[in-house]
Copies of this chain bind each other. A is one copy, B any other.
């Protein structure tokens, strides 16, 4: 399919960051061209420091020379600015509130357990993180059944806001499964999310962006050291 007319649009990201993947998936859903800049971090680029002076973190999206920071803020901006492709947030205000609730839950509550598996230095820390991850995915499985209404995505028939918030973490869920030897998303424990994960990962807007699990595992080991076995 032909991309929408190119705009003055850049995304500063990092291949291993689930947060940095979010604007890229959103722009792909909207079928909008952008320039991707992989941040090198050593040292941080002048453009990153200038564009996100508060957090100095990826992702940053720069639209017509104006920087926008925070992945979920960027995704909402993309949804409001680009009318091409499908809508990311639902049109009904209550459904929109529910989508925002779950995206906030993923980032502010659940994510610490996900990264906790890779950061764990002891078996006890790993077990605590693993329990948090499992309990959170059980809630998200239930939310998925309720919100998707059998249409395939949290966003209905197409990828939406919560799909992007959770789906961007799939690579790290696979890493957590390898590190802990447990399944977090599979046919038995989360049948809805299991089919959703396959659907999401193979979508044209996503398939080239989810990092290879082995490569991400190597990154996690370099970043956080050897985890508890």
Interface of A toward B, CB cutoff 8 Å: 54-55, 63, 66, 68-70, 72-74, 76-77, 80-81, 93-94, 96-98, 100-101, 104-105, 108-109, 139
Return 24 A-B CB contacts under 8 Å, by A number.
Answer: A54-B105, A54-B109, A54-B139, A55-B109, A63-B94, A66-B94, A68-B98, A68-B101, A70-B100, A70-B101, A73-B97, A73-B100, A73-B101, A74-B97, A76-B96, A76-B97, A76-B100, A77-B93, A77-B94, A77-B96, A77-B97, A80-B96, A81-B93, A108-B108
Q: What are the nearest 5 A-B pairs in CB distance?
A: A80-B93, A77-B97, A73-B100, A68-B97, A73-B97
Q: Complex formed: what's the CA distance from A47 to B98 in Å?
A: 18
A96 to chain B, nearest CB (A): 7
A81 neighbours in B (Cβ, 8 Å): 93
Q: Complex formed: what's the CA distance from A80 to B90 in Å?
A: 13
Name the CB-closest residue of B to A136.
B54
Chain A, interface SS category? helix
19 more A-B residue pairs beyond the given contacts A77-B93, A81-B93, with a C-beta to C-beta distance below 8 A? A54-B105, A54-B139, A55-B109, A68-B94, A68-B98, A68-B101, A69-B101, A70-B100, A70-B104, A73-B97, A73-B101, A76-B96, A76-B97, A76-B100, A77-B94, A77-B96, A77-B97, A80-B96, A108-B108
Q: Complex formed: what's the CA distance from A105 to B76 in Å?
A: 16
A80 neighbours in B (Cβ, 8 Å): 93, 96
Q: Complex formed: what's the CA distance from A104 to B105 in Å?
A: 13
A21 to chain B, nearest CB (A): 18
A160 to chain B, nearest CB (A): 16
